[in-house]
Amino acid sequence: GAPWNLHDSPRFPHRGLMIDLSRHFQPLASIRSIIDSLAYAKLNVLHMHMSDEQSFPMESKTYPKLWDAAFSEQERYTQADLASVVEYARLRGVRAMIEFDVPGHAKAMCKGYPEVCTACTSQRGSTLPLNPSRNATFQLMASLLTEVTGGSASTVGDPKGLFPGNMILLGGDEV
């Protein structure tokens, strides 16, 4: 044997890369290529920023008008697309996590469901944020989170949703 020992382990358990799919649509082949590169670089998390002011490219079965805010009909991710990306990542030791940038940066959600947004506008004319005084806002968010996790807070760890790790990122800024 060799006269030395190598110890190679990551310093941090969460080593990830964010891709901004709301502002920059990526074809599935590109996302898979990114996942391949993450595994080579010993990164283990793909953070998928799915909603912002510019678009909402993800299919929602309970709120189908959300993806009316996609850049085009060709620049959308079906739930089957996302399930395939999550599984592709899992097979390579990468956890795919989704982010919905809320309650600020909600302009894309407002396109299909204006009732969940406030009348506040920024100097650029962007509608901000989601309206916390309406039940419709909480119903939409609860439904969307249930779609991606497969359950409620009482079923954490139950791998039924699109993103079975039940780890969801929420923006929480600029409110």
Instruction: Tell which residue, 112, 120, 9, 102, has the closest CA to residue 50.
Output: 102
User: Three-state SS for 128?
Assistant: coil
User: Three-state SS for 34?
Assistant: helix
Let me know if 53 is a catalytic residue: no
- Residue tagged active-site, from 59, 73, 147, 174: 174
Instruction: Tell which residue, 171, 175, 69, 172, has the closest CA to residue 128.
Output: 175
Residue 156 and residue 165: Cα distance in Å, rounded? 8
Written as six digits, the tokens of 167 are: 């780890």
User: Three-state SS for 107?
Assistant: helix
Active site residues: 174
